[in-house]
Amino acid sequence: MTAIALTIAGSDSGGGAGIQADLKTFSALGVYGTSVITALTAQNTMGVSAIMDVEPDFISAQMDAVFSDIAVNAVKIGMLSRIHSIEAVAAGLDRHHVTKAVFDPVMVATSGDRLIDDAAVNHLKTLLFSRAVLITPNLHEAAVICGGPVAQSEQEMRAQGEAILGMGAQAVLMKGGHGEGPDCTDLLITPDAVLPFVAPRIATANTHGTGCSLSSAIAAYLAHGLTLEDSVAKAKSYLTAAIQAADQLQIGHGHGPVHHFHAVWDR
Protein backbone atom coordinates (compact mmCIF):
# COMPACT_ATOMS: atom_id res chain seq x y z
CA MET A 1 0.00 0.00 0.00
CA THR A 2 1.16 3.51 -0.83
CA ALA A 3 1.29 5.82 2.20
CA ILE A 4 -0.62 9.02 1.36
CA ALA A 5 -0.92 12.29 3.27
CA LEU A 6 -2.84 15.51 2.65
CA THR A 7 -1.69 19.00 3.58
CA ILE A 8 -4.27 21.74 4.07
CA ALA A 9 -2.32 24.99 4.24
CA GLY A 10 -1.16 28.15 2.50
CA SER A 11 1.30 28.31 -0.37
CA ASP A 12 4.78 29.79 0.18
CA SER A 13 6.13 31.08 -3.13
CA GLY A 14 9.64 30.98 -1.66
CA GLY A 15 9.29 27.23 -1.14
CA GLY A 16 10.45 27.05 2.47
CA ALA A 17 7.21 26.74 4.42
CA GLY A 18 3.53 25.98 3.97
CA ILE A 19 2.32 23.65 1.24
CA GLN A 20 5.75 23.49 -0.37
CA ALA A 21 7.54 22.46 2.84
CA ASP A 22 4.84 19.91 3.59
CA LEU A 23 5.05 18.25 0.18
CA LYS A 24 8.86 18.17 0.36
CA THR A 25 8.67 16.57 3.81
CA PHE A 26 6.14 13.99 2.66
CA SER A 27 8.35 13.07 -0.30
CA ALA A 28 11.52 12.90 1.80
CA LEU A 29 9.79 10.45 4.13
CA GLY A 30 8.38 8.17 1.44
CA VAL A 31 4.82 9.49 1.45
CA TYR A 32 2.76 10.54 -1.56
CA GLY A 33 1.58 14.10 -0.93
CA THR A 34 -1.73 15.69 -1.87
CA SER A 35 -2.76 19.27 -1.11
CA VAL A 36 -5.57 21.71 -0.39
CA ILE A 37 -4.41 25.32 -0.71
CA THR A 38 -6.10 27.74 1.70
CA ALA A 39 -4.18 30.90 0.74
CA LEU A 40 -1.61 32.18 -1.74
CA THR A 41 1.31 34.21 -0.46
CA ALA A 42 3.91 36.32 -2.22
CA GLN A 43 6.94 35.70 -0.06
CA ASN A 44 10.62 34.84 -0.03
CA THR A 45 13.32 34.42 2.60
CA MET A 46 12.98 38.12 3.52
CA GLY A 47 9.28 38.06 4.37
CA VAL A 48 5.70 38.15 3.11
CA SER A 49 4.61 40.94 0.76
CA ALA A 50 1.06 39.86 -0.14
CA ILE A 51 -1.61 37.30 0.80
CA MET A 52 -4.65 36.16 -1.17
CA ASP A 53 -7.11 33.93 0.66
CA VAL A 54 -8.86 31.09 -1.15
CA GLU A 55 -12.64 31.16 -0.95
CA PRO A 56 -14.14 28.61 1.48
CA ASP A 57 -16.23 26.94 -1.23
CA PHE A 58 -13.07 26.24 -3.22
CA ILE A 59 -11.33 24.86 -0.13
CA SER A 60 -14.25 22.46 0.21
CA ALA A 61 -14.08 21.57 -3.48
CA GLN A 62 -10.38 20.72 -3.18
CA MET A 63 -11.00 18.52 -0.15
CA ASP A 64 -13.87 16.70 -1.87
CA ALA A 65 -11.79 16.16 -5.02
CA VAL A 66 -8.92 14.58 -3.08
CA PHE A 67 -10.96 12.42 -0.70
CA SER A 68 -13.41 11.19 -3.37
CA ASP A 69 -10.60 9.53 -5.31
CA ILE A 70 -7.52 9.10 -3.12
CA ALA A 71 -7.20 7.04 0.07
CA VAL A 72 -5.60 9.56 2.40
CA ASN A 73 -3.96 8.03 5.49
CA ALA A 74 -3.23 11.23 7.44
CA VAL A 75 -3.80 14.97 7.23
CA LYS A 76 -1.70 17.98 8.22
CA ILE A 77 -3.51 21.30 8.75
CA GLY A 78 -1.60 24.57 8.67
CA MET A 79 -2.53 28.24 8.84
CA LEU A 80 -6.23 29.12 8.74
CA SER A 81 -6.90 32.77 9.51
CA ARG A 82 -10.52 33.24 8.34
CA ILE A 83 -13.58 31.99 10.21
CA HIS A 84 -15.30 30.68 7.08
CA SER A 85 -12.15 28.82 6.02
CA ILE A 86 -11.95 27.16 9.44
CA GLU A 87 -15.59 26.13 9.13
CA ALA A 88 -15.01 24.70 5.64
CA VAL A 89 -12.06 22.60 6.80
CA ALA A 90 -13.87 21.31 9.90
CA ALA A 91 -16.89 20.33 7.80
CA GLY A 92 -14.64 18.58 5.28
CA LEU A 93 -12.89 16.58 8.02
CA ASP A 94 -16.27 15.39 9.26
CA ARG A 95 -17.63 14.73 5.77
CA HIS A 96 -14.70 12.47 4.93
CA HIS A 97 -14.37 10.85 8.38
CA VAL A 98 -10.77 11.97 9.00
CA THR A 99 -9.31 10.42 12.17
CA LYS A 100 -5.60 11.23 11.79
CA ALA A 101 -5.19 14.99 11.52
CA VAL A 102 -2.20 16.96 12.85
CA PHE A 103 -2.99 20.65 13.39
CA ASP A 104 -0.18 23.22 13.40
CA PRO A 105 -1.90 26.40 14.67
CA VAL A 106 0.09 29.11 12.89
CA MET A 107 -0.86 32.32 14.72
CA VAL A 108 2.26 34.44 15.22
CA ALA A 109 4.82 35.58 12.63
CA THR A 110 8.55 35.31 13.26
CA SER A 111 8.47 39.10 13.82
CA GLY A 112 6.05 38.53 16.71
CA ASP A 113 3.05 39.96 14.84
CA ARG A 114 -0.32 38.28 15.30
CA LEU A 115 -1.58 36.60 12.12
CA ILE A 116 -5.07 35.78 13.38
CA ASP A 117 -7.69 37.65 15.41
CA ASP A 118 -9.36 36.50 18.62
CA ALA A 119 -12.60 35.47 16.90
CA ALA A 120 -10.73 33.13 14.55
CA VAL A 121 -8.68 31.73 17.47
CA ASN A 122 -11.93 30.84 19.25
CA HIS A 123 -13.20 29.14 16.09
CA LEU A 124 -10.01 27.08 15.90
CA LYS A 125 -10.46 25.97 19.51
CA THR A 126 -14.11 25.08 19.00
CA LEU A 127 -13.99 23.46 15.57
CA LEU A 128 -10.50 22.00 15.05
CA PHE A 129 -8.95 21.10 18.40
CA SER A 130 -11.22 18.10 18.99
CA ARG A 131 -10.96 16.97 15.36
CA ALA A 132 -7.15 16.66 15.41
CA VAL A 133 -5.21 13.79 16.91
CA LEU A 134 -2.43 16.27 17.76
CA ILE A 135 -2.02 20.07 18.14
CA THR A 136 1.55 21.40 17.67
CA PRO A 137 1.86 24.97 19.01
CA ASN A 138 5.15 26.74 19.52
CA LEU A 139 5.61 28.81 22.68
CA HIS A 140 4.14 32.00 21.19
CA GLU A 141 1.13 30.19 19.72
CA ALA A 142 0.44 28.41 22.99
CA ALA A 143 0.48 31.77 24.76
CA VAL A 144 -2.12 33.14 22.31
CA ILE A 145 -4.29 30.04 22.73
CA CYS A 146 -4.11 30.20 26.53
CA GLY A 147 -4.35 33.99 26.74
CA GLY A 148 -1.25 34.26 28.91
CA PRO A 149 2.49 34.96 28.78
CA VAL A 150 4.99 32.92 26.80
CA ALA A 151 6.16 29.90 28.81
CA GLN A 152 9.65 30.31 30.25
CA SER A 153 10.19 26.80 31.65
CA GLU A 154 9.21 23.20 31.06
CA GLN A 155 6.82 23.46 33.98
CA GLU A 156 5.04 26.39 32.33
CA MET A 157 5.06 24.56 28.98
CA ARG A 158 3.39 21.59 30.63
CA ALA A 159 0.79 23.78 32.32
CA GLN A 160 -0.16 25.44 29.03
CA GLY A 161 -0.23 22.12 27.21
CA GLU A 162 -2.55 20.68 29.82
CA ALA A 163 -4.75 23.77 29.51
CA ILE A 164 -4.99 23.17 25.75
CA LEU A 165 -5.96 19.56 26.47
CA GLY A 166 -8.76 20.99 28.57
CA MET A 167 -9.98 22.89 25.49
CA GLY A 168 -10.76 19.61 23.74
CA ALA A 169 -7.43 18.62 22.20
CA GLN A 170 -6.64 14.90 22.15
CA ALA A 171 -2.88 15.49 22.50
CA VAL A 172 -0.56 18.51 22.43
CA LEU A 173 3.07 18.80 21.33
CA MET A 174 4.48 21.90 23.02
CA LYS A 175 7.45 22.92 20.87
CA GLY A 176 10.45 24.47 22.59
CA GLY A 177 12.24 25.81 19.54
CA HIS A 178 11.69 29.42 20.59
CA GLY A 179 13.13 28.79 24.03
CA GLU A 180 16.70 29.19 25.23
CA GLY A 181 19.52 26.95 26.40
CA PRO A 182 21.70 24.31 24.75
CA ASP A 183 18.83 21.86 24.20
CA CYS A 184 15.49 22.17 22.45
CA THR A 185 12.87 20.24 24.40
CA ASP A 186 9.40 19.45 23.07
CA LEU A 187 6.74 18.03 25.37
CA LEU A 188 4.14 15.55 24.11
CA ILE A 189 1.23 15.93 26.49
CA THR A 190 -1.65 13.44 26.48
CA PRO A 191 -4.34 12.72 29.07
CA ASP A 192 -2.15 9.88 30.35
CA ALA A 193 1.46 11.08 30.12
CA VAL A 194 3.98 13.85 29.48
CA LEU A 195 6.86 12.75 27.26
CA PRO A 196 9.93 14.95 26.59
CA PHE A 197 11.74 14.90 23.23
CA VAL A 198 15.15 16.53 23.48
CA ALA A 199 17.60 17.55 20.74
CA PRO A 200 20.57 19.93 20.72
CA ARG A 201 19.73 23.52 19.81
CA ILE A 202 21.40 24.29 16.47
CA ALA A 203 22.91 27.70 15.73
CA THR A 204 21.66 28.68 12.26
CA ALA A 205 19.60 31.47 10.70
CA ASN A 206 18.08 29.01 8.25
CA THR A 207 15.03 27.82 10.16
CA HIS A 208 12.21 28.97 7.88
CA GLY A 209 9.45 26.36 7.80
CA THR A 210 10.50 24.34 10.85
CA GLY A 211 6.99 24.22 12.33
CA CYS A 212 5.40 23.24 9.03
CA SER A 213 8.02 20.58 8.43
CA LEU A 214 7.71 19.03 11.90
CA SER A 215 3.93 18.75 11.77
CA SER A 216 3.98 17.35 8.24
CA ALA A 217 6.68 14.86 9.25
CA ILE A 218 4.45 13.66 12.10
CA ALA A 219 1.57 13.30 9.64
CA ALA A 220 3.85 11.39 7.26
CA TYR A 221 4.81 8.85 9.91
CA LEU A 222 1.17 8.50 10.97
CA ALA A 223 0.39 7.79 7.30
CA HIS A 224 2.97 4.99 7.46
CA GLY A 225 1.00 3.52 10.36
CA LEU A 226 3.27 4.44 13.29
CA THR A 227 1.89 5.34 16.70
CA LEU A 228 1.64 8.98 17.71
CA GLU A 229 4.59 8.70 20.11
CA ASP A 230 6.82 7.03 17.52
CA SER A 231 5.70 9.50 14.85
CA VAL A 232 6.69 12.44 17.04
CA ALA A 233 10.05 10.87 17.92
CA LYS A 234 10.98 10.12 14.30
CA ALA A 235 9.70 13.50 13.09
CA LYS A 236 11.81 15.28 15.72
CA SER A 237 14.90 13.39 14.54
CA TYR A 238 14.14 14.17 10.89
CA LEU A 239 13.71 17.89 11.55
CA THR A 240 16.84 18.10 13.70
CA ALA A 241 18.89 16.61 10.86
CA ALA A 242 17.20 18.96 8.36
CA ILE A 243 18.16 21.96 10.50
CA GLN A 244 21.72 20.68 10.94
CA ALA A 245 22.06 20.48 7.14
CA ALA A 246 20.30 23.79 6.43
CA ASP A 247 23.52 25.77 5.94
CA GLN A 248 24.47 23.49 3.05
CA LEU A 249 21.82 25.30 1.02
CA GLN A 250 22.30 28.79 -0.41
CA ILE A 251 18.74 30.10 -0.73
CA GLY A 252 17.93 33.83 -0.77
CA HIS A 253 19.24 36.63 1.40
CA GLY A 254 17.20 36.19 4.58
CA HIS A 255 16.10 33.26 6.73
CA GLY A 256 16.54 30.26 4.47
CA PRO A 257 14.73 26.92 4.68
CA VAL A 258 15.76 23.72 6.38
CA HIS A 259 17.21 21.02 4.13
CA HIS A 260 14.25 18.71 3.60
CA PHE A 261 16.22 16.35 1.35
CA HIS A 262 19.39 16.18 3.45
CA ALA A 263 19.34 12.37 3.37
CA VAL A 264 18.77 12.19 -0.38
CA TRP A 265 20.67 14.91 -2.21
CA ASP A 266 24.10 13.83 -0.96
CA ARG A 267 23.53 10.46 -2.59
The catalytically annotated residue of 38, 76, 177, 212 is: 212
Which residues in 96-130 are b (16+ Cβ under 10 Å) and which e? eebebbbbbbbbbeeeeeeebeeebbebbbebbbe
Report yes or no: 21 and 213 within 8 Å, Cβ to Cβ: yes
Is 212 a catalytic site residue? yes
Report yes or no: 13 and 42 within 8 Å, Cβ to Cβ: yes
Gap between the terminal Cα atoms of the chain = 26
φ, ψ for residue 53 (rounded to 5)?
Answer: -75, 145
Is 175 a catalytic site residue? yes
Which residues lie closer than 8 Å to 107 by C-beta, 6 or more apart? 114, 115, 116, 121, 137, 140, 141, 144, 145
* Positive/negative CA dihedral, 242, 246, 249, 253: positive
Angle, CA of 26, 36 and 228, to the nearest 5°: 45
* Positive/negative CA dihedral, 204, 206, 211, 213: negative
The catalytically annotated residue of 176, 207, 240, 256 is: 207
Which residues lie closer than 8 Å to 146 by C-beta, 6 or more apart? 160, 163, 164
Report yes or no: 5 and 73 within 8 Å, Cβ to Cβ: yes
The catalytically annotated residue of 136, 211, 236, 240 is: 211
The catalytically annotated residue of 78, 210, 236, 256 is: 210
The catalytically annotated residue of 175, 176, 236, 240 is: 175
Is 211 a catalytic site residue? yes
Q: Which residues pair with 12 in a beta bridge?
A: 41
Catalytic residue positions, numbered? 175, 207, 209-212
